Structure formats: structure tokens, C-alpha cells
Amino acid sequence: MGRVGIIGCGQTAFGRRSDATVQELAFEAWRLALADGGLEPDVVEATVIGSVPEYHKQRSLPGVVQEYLNLNPRPVWLTEAACASGSAALRTACLSVQAGAHHVVAVIGCQKMTELDTAEILALMGRVGDVQWESGFGTTFPGYYAMFARRHMHEFGTTVDHLAAVAVKNHHYGALNPKAMFRKEITLAKARASEEVSSPLCVYDCCANADGAACVIVADERAARALGRDRVVWLDGMGCASDSMSVLRRADLTGLPATRAAAAQAFAQAGITARDVQVADVHDCFTIAEIMACEDLGFCARGEGGPFVEARQTYLGGAHPVNLDGGLKAKGHPIGATGVSMTCEIVAQLRGECGPRQVPGAAVGLTHNVGGIGQYCFVNVLRRD
């Protein structure tokens, strides 16, 4: 397989974006990505959209986005893998470049969630659980992740302070990220005192629904070197795995097997181990999810995620800096945009453009994007020359 390079990245501010339609958000990210890469629109031969369609009044987004970007008649289609839809789009775009079908492809993750109210969103999200056997009986996403948290506490002694420590860190870095939805530090006491959503998860353990878009432009090696010059970041490992829709069928609830499988693929392709990852964006839809991700990705041992986080090993300067953009938790989680936004962040880290959040000299980074409750997982390894 040929090498795939990233030659342009852009993302909108995340949050409540009542100022823009979903296609306008996509356009904003697209313009930023072109400007970032110094690219003309003409070089982009196809577009892949990552989004979960049912959140928008407008259905079939690829059509409305491609028209708004003035890219007709070039190919466009959408990919969906729940909250990992953006990573599915990136994977599809990379495959089309590696197949030789196109030289340069744009990936746009975009989502407007605030057109719906929270109850509608919870109901829709619940239906990403198994409708026949689970969500029909009332499971919601906070409920699922609360079960993971309870089991993790039971087996490994993880505490609510460990959970809250993730929130504190991610709000700390969110405060430093101009694109983040929440830009305020919080204390452990404040996180602990927040209202319970689904025990043991409180408000500050949960990410926020948001509007936003992100765009990444990928190219085959030759086009990347010609267009991206010395700023290219390479996608050297791309893992993808699935797991059962229903948690009923999971052998254990303290981690996500799909993460482990996807990471193994990505590490093997890139010829690295977890130890080599200098900066990572992981899927912290809930604080427990970040703790499980650290374990599943091999940043720490199974069951050690809580103490690992508490010891500030995921901060800048720690063994494995994680979510220095604030994560889903503080940056916000417009579901289709998230995987693409993670990619923008790691590219910026590998180019040394992150200012106060920069991991000095980072050359190898990772993104980890989960769909649903681990039904899908995409792990990518990124590297600069």
C-alpha cells in the first residue's frame, strides 16, 4: 500500500453554532484546510463526508456540502460509524488514494447537534445500542458507560476521583485551545460536586453535544510531497475493528476489545509500539472512556488507568500526553466531526504548532476514535518525516 500524506487541516470552533448551517460549518473547515495547506480547491478530486445523518433536518449531507463547496461534479459520499464516522471517512479517503482512484481527497466531518433538544439526542443515541435487546429497555449512552465505570471500579479499585481527574485535565487543556467549546479550568471538587447523570458518572464526566466541522486533505505520496512540501504528516498506520452491538455479548466490561484490535493493526503497520506514541487524542466521550483507552492502547497496564491519570502521566510532560486539545470532554463532540478534528490536532502537534499545549519535538502521534459503545474503533498512527 502506498503512503498517504496529510497536506491540509482545518476545523471550526466547536460549540453551539446557531450562526451557521451544517454546510456552512463544512465550508468554514474546508476553507481553513485549504488555507492551512496553501492549496487551490481544484486539486481536490473527491470528497468523503463523515457524519451521522439523522441529527440534521437536511438529510443526505454529501449533496448539500458538495454543492456549497462548489465541487460538483466530483464524487462525494458519506460514511457512518456512529461517533467514529469522521474516522470512517478518513479511512475511506485514504483507501481511495491508495487505490489510485484519486490523487487528493478531502475529508469533512461535520455535525450540527443543537438542532435537536437533549431528550431527542439521548433517544437517538440510545438507538445506537441494540434496539431489539437493549435500548428498547431504556439503555442510554451515559447508562452504558456507567456500567463500564462500575465494573472498572469493582475489578480494579478505580475511584470517582480518578474519573474526575480526567475531567480536570481535559478542562485544563480546553482552556488553552481557542477552538474548544469549554475554555474554563475546573477543580476536582467542582467535578465531584456536579449533578449525577448515571451513577457513578456526573455532569463533568460526560462530554457535551456540539456543532462543528473539521476538514483534512489527504494525498498520495507523490502529490503530498509536491503540494505539502516539508509540512506533510503521514498516516503510517490505520487500524479498524468492530465489536458486538449489544454489551450483552461482551465477555468483559472493563475495556473495549475493538480498541485493542485496531491498535494492534495500526502499530504493526507503522512498525511501532505504544511506547513510541508521543502524543495522542483518545475518545473520552465519558471520563471512564479515557481511562479504558489508556489501558487498551497500552499506555499503561490493564486496571492501572486510574492511578496513571491521577499521577499526571497523561499531562504534558507525562509518559503519554493525552487530549491536549481538551478532548471530547472540553473541546466538544460534534459526533461526525470528532475523528477528523482529532487528526487536525495531532497533525498540528507533529508540526509543532500547538503553542502552550505543544509536546516538544513530537514526531509520532495517535488518534483513537470509538463509535457507539465500542462497536467500531479506528486507531491511526501519524508521523512526520
Binding-site size for a second copy (CB under 8 A) equals 60
Q: Which one of residues 245, 293, 340, 348 is an interface residue with a second copy (CB under 8 A)?
A: 245
Is 120 a binding residue for a second copy by CB under 8 A? The answer is: no
Question: In this structure, what is the dihedral angle of CA atoms 243, 156, 369, 232, given to the nearest 10 degrees?
Answer: -130
Find the part of the chain contacting a second copy (CB under 8 A) among 6-14, 150-158, 340-348, 370-378: 370-378
Instruction: Provide the 3-class DSSP secondary structure of residue 192.
Output: helix
Q: Which one of residues 205, 211, 236, 243 is an interface residue with a second copy (CB under 8 A)?
A: 243
CA distances from 287 to 19, 113, 170, 191, 301 (A): 30, 21, 9, 11, 17
Is the separation of the CB atoms in 16 and 210 below 8 Å? Answer: yes
Residue 286 Cβ, how far from a second copy at the closest point, in Å? 18
Per CB under 8 A, which of residues 34..63 are in contact with a second copy? 46, 52-54, 57-60, 62-63
Asked if the peptide bond before residue 73 counts as cis, ω within 30 degrees of 0, the response is yes
Is the separation of the CB atoms in 11 and 342 below 8 Å? Answer: no
Handedness of CA 325, 329, 332, 337 (dihedral sign): positive
Cell of 144: 452504558
- Which positions are annotated as active-site residues? 83, 333
Q: Among all chains, which residue has been given the C-alpha cell 456500567?
A: 147
Residue 15 Cβ, how far from a second copy at the closest point, in Å? 22
Find the part of the chain contacting a second copy (CB under 8 A) among 64-72, 151-159, 169-177, 290-298: 64-72
Is the separation of the CB atoms in 85 and 52 below 8 Å? Answer: yes
Residue 242 Cβ, how far from a second copy at the closest point, in Å? 5
Binding string, residues 131-160; x marks residues near a second copy by CB under 8 A? xx----------------------------
Is the separation of the CB atoms in 276 and 364 below 8 Å? Answer: yes
Is 98 a binding residue for a second copy by CB under 8 A? The answer is: yes
Residue 209 Cβ, how far from a second copy at the closest point, in Å? 15
Tell me which residues touch a second copy (CB under 8 A): 1, 21, 46, 52-54, 57-60, 62-64, 66-67, 71-82, 88, 91-92, 94-101, 124, 127-128, 130-132, 238, 240-246, 249, 257-258, 261, 371-372, 375-376
